[in-house]
Amino acid sequence: MKGKHRIIIETEKLKYEFTIKRNITIIQGDSATGKTTLIDLLRLYSQFKDDSGIMLQSDVPCVVYSGDSQSWNIILETYKNSIVFFDEDYSFIYTKEFADKIQNTSNYYVLITRQPLYNIPYSIQEIYGIRTTGKYHYPDKIYHEFYNIYMEKQIEPEKDVIVMVEDSKSGYQFYSSVFGNNRCISVDGNS
Amino acid sequence: MLNIYFGEREKVMHGPTWFRFNYRSEWLADSLVQEMMESIDKSSYKGGELIESEVLGPIPPERLSGGLQTLISIYERPDLMFNATSCGENCAKWLIEIGKRKDVTVNLRYLMPFDDAETFEINILNDNCIVHNMSEYLELAIKYV
């Protein structure tokens, strides 16, 4: 599967609208923002389709992993060209076996977790929180959107920082990009 | 005091699941539980099993957020160890508050920031060391998450 996929899921009281851009997307953030409700809506839509009263707009199937913690390897093989959502607390998503498995499938994966995933390469730009927009309160419809957690945080150090890196190539290029050219100096080491 | 074990451990309860099948109605009448409910879920307790959510309208306790359900479980059942990873960053100050009132032990698998409080007392059980501010906390916690 390639490209971006716009997803809208709504009921008469709730609406979620977001775009999944890459094969791995992480959702985290504060409690009570609607992460579990999103998963519940997707799970119920998978089960009852339009009879659920839930409306889903997506150009690819959206499924919620709801199998047990032992058979995930087999169950994952049944999903093709889909966006697979995992709610938090499936411990196998932190394993190397899971990381290896999902790299070789046609699906995109959305993982709800605050725990670091050391075995899976993913972009900092694809770590999202969920927020409510507008001034809606019950019984008005509540609109939820994804926001990029780290790109909106501007952390300025308390003091001016100069970063000295040993090399003049990849390390220098990386830290120059992060801190800016005038804050990064290469000491032109040999290694 | 708040005691934290960082990293994966066994015999740790998943707060939202445990709460759903084990909570007691009388817990909801506790003043600290109601403060946490207002702060985290923007909800208020109306009596019995009824909670009014600013976002969802009238809801039962089973529909409180997973983070709040875990906090209530930690507070009401200090004899059990819960996985506080279900608690978002907005739960941090309440974990500190619970630790001031009761001796509780939680498991944590991410770097929860406690920077709302300038000083606190948290026992990091991995090192058996009590930390008193974010600087001391980060120095130890970063090794395990």
- Give this prediction's pTM: 0.86
Report CB contact under 8 Å: A32, B68. yes
Query: What tokens appear for B131 in the block?
Result: 């930390």
Tell me the residues of A at the B interface, defined by beta carbons under 8 Å apart: 13, 28-34, 36, 88-89, 91, 94, 114-116, 132, 137-139, 142
Residue A134 sits in the same domain as residue A163: no
Query: Which residue, of A148, A165, A181, is where some domain finishes?
Result: A148
Region B89-103 average pLDDT: 97
The whole-angstrom distance between residue A150's C-alpha and the CA centroid of its chain comes to 12
The alpha carbon of residue B45 is apart from the nearest alpha carbon of chain A, in Å, by 16
Q: Please name the amino acid found at residue A142.
A: I
Give the DSSP H/E element, type plus range, for residue A15: strand A14-20
Helix (H, G, I), strand (E, B) or coil at B101: helix
Helix (H, G, I), strand (E, B) or coil at A55: strand
B68 with B41: CB under 8 angstroms?
yes
For A111, list phi and psi in degrees, rounded to 5. -115, 125
* Per-residue model confidence (pLDDT) at position A132: 87
B interface mutation test: which of A11, A111, A114 has the most B CBs within 10 A?
A114
Domain holding A70, by residue range, is 5-148
- Pick from A30, A115, A139: CB nearest B88: A30
Residue A25 sits in the same domain as residue A80: yes
Buried-exposed string B38-55: b where 16+ CB fall within 10 A, e elsewhere: eebbbbebeeeeebebeb
- For residue A34, give the nearest of A139, A143, A109, A151 by alpha carbon: A143
- For residue A60, give the nearest of A144, A3, A126 by alpha carbon: A3
Region B135-145 average pLDDT: 93
Residue A133 sits in the same domain as residue A162: no
ipTM of the complex: 0.86
Chain A residues touching B89 at Cβ < 8 A: 29-30
A54 with A44: CB under 8 angstroms?
yes
Which is it for strands A108-112 and A127-133: parallel, antiparallel or unpaired? Answer: unpaired
Tell me the residues of B at the A interface, defined by beta carbons under 8 Å apart: 8, 14, 16, 40-42, 53-57, 64-68, 83, 85-91, 109-110, 145
d(CA B135, CA B140): 9
A97 with A76: CB under 8 angstroms?
no
What is the DSSP code (8-state) at residue B13?
B
Which pLDDT band holds residue B47 (cuts at 50, 70, 90)? Answer: very high
Residue A13 sits in the same domain as residue A52: yes
The alpha carbon of residue A2 is apart from the nearest alpha carbon of chain B, in Å, by 31
Q: What's the mean per-residue pLDDT of chain B?
A: 95
Q: What's the mean per-residue pLDDT of chain A?
A: 89
Number of domains in chain A: 2
Residue A111 sits in the same domain as residue A61: yes
Report CB contact under 8 Å: A32, B88. yes
By CB atoms closer than 10 A (0-12, 13-18, 19+), residue A9 is buried
What are the E-state strand segments in A37-125? 55-57, 62-64, 83-86, 108-112
pLDDT of residue A138 exceeding 70, the answer is: no
In sign, the C-alpha dihedral spanning B64, B66, B69, B75 is: negative
Residue A186 sits in the same domain as residue A119: no
